[in-house]
Amino acid sequence: MTDIFKKYLMADNSARIQAVRLESAWQTGLSHQPYPEAIRSLLGELTAAAVLLATNIKFNGSVVLQLQGDGPVTLIVVECTSELTFRATVNLRDPDLVPTDGNLQTLLNANGAGRFTVLLDPGRDTDMAPYQGIVPMEGDTVAEVLEAYMRNSEQLDTRMWLAANGQNACGVLLQRLPDAGGTTSNDSPAGAGSTTASDPHTRAESWNRIIHLASTLTPAELLQANIDTIIHRLFWQESLLELESRNLCWYCPCSRTRVGNMLRMLGREEIESLLAERETVQVSCNFCGKPYEFDAVDCAGLFMENVDDSGSRTLH
């Protein structure tokens, strides 16, 4: 499988280990988006990170990660749902201003006004309120920004290794679990509320050891090897419990009907003015970049009047 997420638990309940590898779905997301290489890498790393975080939410909603910049890049947004569908987009001030060797700071935080936002959206079918956290863009990589956020805002020791190119977007996450005496973990195979007693000193040693092992992972290896190979290479001497394996897919809800509704909201006069300047009205989805084209006949159809069952006249 080319688009997969896996989660593991250390046998002593000291940490969870998660990994994601996107290939086919990632390429689908890029199919209409000719981003420069530096932008593509940043977007892929943020996408892999969003997947890793979304798998831990306890509601049917989504995680939205947003990098807002004051450099050549104004905005990078990734959304991943609890169903592990995702979408992503980038807004640039001017593609010609993007340096080929640009990094997170030069592309998004050139003047020190860049911001990183995490939004937890529980959706409409819940009484939960959305949560939003906004922090300065601290760190030279997406992984460092997220680690700082998790450490300062969520009080969770978290380490990430992320890599992306035009073919793959991949990531590994290690997260330390609380160790106050007996430890309760929702990740335990026995279910929520199960407790594993473990010496805090031993658990701290386990955490430091797996961090050291994971730190040997290179971006090239992360992009080239599958998840099973990476986990075996890094942790073959550790006792791991595999908790789950899930597939992912790219999903953008844009459609010709949605775009048509948007054009209808502009009004007949505005649409006719656009058609007077060109033969067709061309619109691309802000998220996936998929192009939609409406000629004069298509646009006329947007404003046709129909008679409904009650005899009222309505716009098509």
What number of CA atoms fall less than 13 Å from residue 244's CA on the CB side?
16
Angle at 83 between CA 224 and CA 66, to 5 degrees: 70
pTM of the model: 0.80
Shared-domain flag, residues 282 and 138: no
Do residue 99 and residue 235 come from a single domain?
yes
Which among 222, 250, 278 is the end of a domain?
250
What is the C-alpha to C-alpha distance for residues 29 and 45, in angstroms, rounded to an integer?
14
CATH code of the domain covering residue 225: 3.55.30.10
Determine the structural domain holding residue 86 and report its residue range: 4-250
Helices (H), the chain: 24-30, 37-54, 104-108, 142-153, 200-214, 219-224, 227-235, 256-266, 268-277, 296-302
Question: What span, in angstroms and rounded, lies between the C-alpha atoms of 115 and 135?
Answer: 6
CATH number at residue 261: 3.90.1280.10
Say yes or no: 166 and 271 in one domain.
Answer: no
Q: 278 exposed, middle or buried (CB, 10 Å; 0-12, 13-18, 19+)?
A: exposed
Residues 226/233, Cβ–Cβ less than 8 Å: no
Tens digit of each residue's pLDDT, the chain (316 residues): 589 999 999 988 889 999 999 999 999 888 878 888 889 999 999 999 999 999 988 888 899 999 998 888 999 999 999 999 999 988 888 777 788 888 899 899 888 888 999 999 887 666 777 888 888 888 889 999 999 888 887 788 999 999 999 999 999 999 999 865 444 445 543 333 334 446 777 888 889 999 999 999 999 999 999 999 999 999 999 999 999 999 999 887 777 887 888 788 888 888 888 778 888 888 777 777 778 888 888 888 888 754 344 433 344 4
**Do 146 and 99 share a structural domain?**
yes
What is the count of structural domains for the chain?
2
* Domain stop point among 208, 227, 250: 250
Residue 216: both structure tokens together: 């040997």
- How far apart CA 76 and CA 35 sit, in angstroms, is 12
Check whether residue 47 and residue 183 sit in a common domain.
Answer: yes
In tens, the pLDDT along 138-187 reads: 888 999 999 988 888 778 899 999 999 999 999 999 999 986 544 444 55
Same domain for 170 and 305, yes or no, is no
Do residue 156 and residue 283 come from a single domain? Answer: no
